[in-house]
Structure 1
């Protein structure tokens, strides 16, 4: 077997082993999982998640997922906990302990101390009969048949299972809370993701010029307005109401179909019933409209009045597309 083929075979085997273990987690879910979710949901405190080694790394990720989906969570390293960090646990907090074996020395020292504080413990462990499993109020079973490591030593499949169980917890809590995309935006204001969730049409139109002409404006002045405002379009207004638009495409069609056009006006070449969007709409909604209708610009309105133009280039520049 060539080296390249061997590498691919090992990679596929790793993925297959982990995929099989993750699929089996559905068979390990019991009413205890639902009870744990409900207890966290009804709790007035935070979720403290602890572990050691690779489980501590997984704990950090679950903490991040919970925080970003509306469930306050804090990481506490199991080793540091018994050297002072236990003070971070408050009266109403729920503690999640993550350990594959459930029998590590740190866990055996830590669990009784937490129980002394009267906090409820949720175990995420691959051994429900372990010390951790026996001492916890709720046990989430993440048993795996074997690690993807050929020596069955390096935490691979087991940590993946822990991570997936944590995701299941977070998403169930998200669902119970009715956590919406607007809620999500509060915790993810940065980057393209944040912009998709909070950037509004008004944020874009306020940065653009506002091209407009009347129905009687002659073609020469229409072309000048489109060129000067640099959006490839102008709105046609009559009595402050939008009755049409003239785009670069309309200008090109006019030139193709008319040898003489100096006598033409905006009303002669405009497109009626243009696509519009409310100023308060999300920019991502504007993008969907542009893509659906295969156009480059949208007219923005506010209380039925012309408010400006959104160009697809604006959305590209903002990282929405």
Structure 2
């Protein structure tokens, strides 16, 4: 209704002004009339990014449907076919082996939600890493280190690891074998959320903890790298079969709270990126430009993920998190929208 009112010139004298106002209003909503079909990953640590991008497209005038929650391989097949238009949850190069044949003929990666943001690795209580000079997994072969981290008194250091069936379980098992740690470290494979809750409680009580995690994740917001815990190295880069093409992505510089720089994480470090159908991007350059400029600090995602882990995980909660993030980052948000509007036809 407001757009119509702006666009109607009441008299000849106001016709030119009315036309200019109409054009200006339309430029604010260049996506008007276009319906967008997004998808979303099944892990909730990616829900916040999806909701922010969806909000941005809506502010640009697009009608954005509720996202379809899809498993990775199904999404990549669907976006190539054009059944969905995009998602914000691409992890590369980790997802490379899940792409269908000739994928890049029909879809592409756009921008970086978080460049090198998909971290994985092992962390140790900073207090005890300093006390025992722990720099890598190899240090858990030392008797005094094993004893300090041995909670069940079986002679091995206890590692909060991954439940059976998770991709990280396979990598951790490989590490235990190739680094000769099977007699030194006991990977705990119970429910990750419950195990990490127990680890955090132990940390709060002053006990040493040793765990695997990934980012974005609530764990490294609750326990901050460099202050509470530290990322440690693997002894050497020895990739799990199938990881060789990503060999250079297992050592990374600039990891906050790591014991060394660069850090040999031993897991592939992923870029988190938007993936979209090429025809959709060609028809909607405004959306493409928004995808290109959209990027988030990893700490912001970790903070929101922590709120979800603490119980704020309903649809309304996530939309409120989006509102609050935009309110705190108004200049950045408006700059993204302005950039996107510049390419409107």
Instruction: Decide: shared fold, TM above 0.5.
Output: no
Higher RCO (CA-CA < 8 Å; seq separation 6+):
2
TM-score (norm 1): 0.26
Select the structure of larger CA radius of gyration.
1
